[in-house]
Structure 1
């Protein structure tokens, strides 16, 4: 199947109404399947996790942020966005309702499995009771049953919506134009490639691996770079599969997600020494590429990830 056709079609995720690029309030945008109306731009926003913080930073919104929750590799983020050092870490893990309210935040940018969970304490509904609006990361809407294939339109939609919410629509326009131009260059390089290598994304897990299914952002990254995700047929985002399935699908490249207590080198060693994987092409040919958590979750590093993966596949 030629996934370029799917990638280049940008209409699917924009069936929902998009905000007008006019700095006017009140303003209504779509977050997952909800309409949310802002009467003025936030001044004390909180974002959860490194990729969501970097989306805010890419839009130049650090002066509108109270701080962040979740874990961030400050050294990595500072290299691209020095302003991150001005922000406070308000809570190391998923925030609780009391923390958000005590901080007197006026906006929470999070996602399902990115700082919120279905049925949890912190949700758009629970915070709405205290007049704290929540914008949900578009890729995470699958956790609510919304099933749209992975696409960079997730990222574009979030950039446009957030820029409108904060009254800076032109910043999103500039970023999206740059991202589209860079992707077009990569697509031109890979369009004529006859063989698209099979790729396995290894996030974590020893008994069973945690990987990216067909609705996770790595699906869009792999497709744009000219590869095929071995878990593309799984109608979910980040999922657990089994090692037997990985072995049977014989990935030619393994993309390692570099984060957490277990290092990328340790993950590579584990795969190389796994008895069921000794025959797979990636192990036999030593084809491993390390990308960061922020590269592979929705955010401004996604385009860098496409470029790096495309170069890696071409070099192989």
Structure 2
């Protein structure tokens, strides 16, 4: 039997498959050849499995993030179909046969691009698990299983199950190594500043970022905010008195954000700012992506330098 015939037989046994997406079954009839992936974090999840040959392009990258040389190298010649959220027309024009996005990560509830509107066009959607709380699904504090499960689902969709499982096992080993080094260390209070002037936009109870901070030896001061990402108040930042501050870098550096924090009248006496206990973290490090593991390692050394391997 020739290689082509063998692959056909294997594919015949592999598809169709059914995966779970926000608790709903989604059937994949064939390995996608024109997948569209939204946002830098989900693109990195696809790139980790070398899915570029099966992609039509990406969406929602340059509207918020500056592309790093490393990201651009992985993207190659793949086009950015939409700089922000894609329209249904843009996805159809790209010949999309699979969409990986999330609620408030490429899709809005009630918008023209949803799993339902795409299904009506024969396009299956994998929804980022962290975002499922936007449609009423919460399962308590998020864990890295959100990342692990989504990566493995992506592997199933593209017949890369073994590769995805190997990736996840490697990530778990790295996280276990950090946890062993942090034994006996008290978590420090951490404020994660994304953006916002009138009110700080930050990670809340259902953001994976909250778990990443915890695994790095910290405690998110807004871990009680009942959302994944949302607005808090500067009064609460001051009262909760963070011992360290993480600032999200969208590719332009953090100097503007840091200058704003230093000049805020409610934060004049903050010890973290006075001691310059500030760490820049990339957007893809704080949203579900392979970079989460790097972030945990980086945060742990930042908060507890004595644990550096």
Give the TM-score taking structure 1 as reference length: 0.89
Whether the 8 Å CA contact 2:40–2:61 is kept in 1: the answer is yes
Which structure has the larger Rg over C-alpha atoms? 2
1:14 aligned partner: none
Whether the 8 Å CA contact 1:74–1:85 is kept in 2: the answer is no
CA distance in 2 between partners of 1:242 and 1:80 (Å)? 34
1:90 aligned partner: 81
CA distance in 2 between partners of 1:268 and 1:116 (Å)? 31
2:31 aligned partner: 41
Give the deviation of 1:86 after TM superposition: 2.5
1:173 aligned partner: 165
Instruction: Provide the secondary structure at the position in 1 that maps to 2:245.
Output: strand
CA distance in 2 between partners of 1:219 and 1:87 (Å)? 32
Give the number of aligned pairs: 292
2:261 aligned partner: 271
CA RMSD of aligned residues (A): 1.6
Whether the 8 Å CA contact 1:57–1:81 is kept in 2: the answer is no
Instruction: Provide the secondary structure at the position in 1 that maps to 2:32.
Output: coil
CA distance in 2 between partners of 1:118 and 1:151 (Å)? 24
Structure 2, unpaired ranges of 5+: 1-12
Give the deviation of 1:288 after TM superposition: 0.5
Compared CA separation, residues 134 and 96, structure 1 to 2 (3 A): same
**Aligned positions of 1:242-253 closer than 5 A:** 242-253=233-244
CA distance in 2 between partners of 1:75 and 1:107 (Å)? 23
Give the deviation of 1:83 after TM superposition: 2.7
Whether the 8 Å CA contact 2:100–2:126 is kept in 1: the answer is yes
User: Which deviations, in whole Å up to 9, do the C-alpha atoms of 1:74-120 show, x marking residues without a partner?
Assistant: 752x4267331221111111000111111111011100010001011
Structure 1, unpaired ranges of 5+: 1-22
Compared CA separation, residues 210 and 57, structure 1 to 2 (3 A): same
Of the structure 1 ranges 23-32 and 173-182, higher mean CA displacement relative to structure 2 is found in 23-32
CA distance in 1 between partners of 2:73 and 2:170 (Å)? 20
Instruction: Provide the secondary structure at the position in 1 that maps to 2:25.
Output: strand
Give the deviation of 1:315 after TM superposition: 2.3
Instruction: Provide the secondary structure at the position in 2 that maps to 1:306.
Output: helix
1:198 aligned partner: 189
Whether the 8 Å CA contact 2:21–2:129 is kept in 1: the answer is yes
1:10 aligned partner: none
1:130 aligns with 2:121: yes
Give the deviation of 1:143 after TM superposition: 0.4
Give the deviation of 1:146 after TM superposition: 1.0
Instruction: Provide the secondary structure at the position in 1 that maps to 2:14.
Output: coil
Whether the 8 Å CA contact 2:251–2:282 is kept in 1: the answer is no
Instruction: Provide the secondary structure at the position in 2 that maps to 1:86.
Output: coil
Misfit runs of 4+, over 3 Å: 72-75
CA distance in 2 between partners of 1:53 and 1:221 (Å)? 20
Give the TM-score taking structure 2 as reference length: 0.91
1:107 aligns with 2:93: no
Give the deviation of 1:235 after TM superposition: 2.4
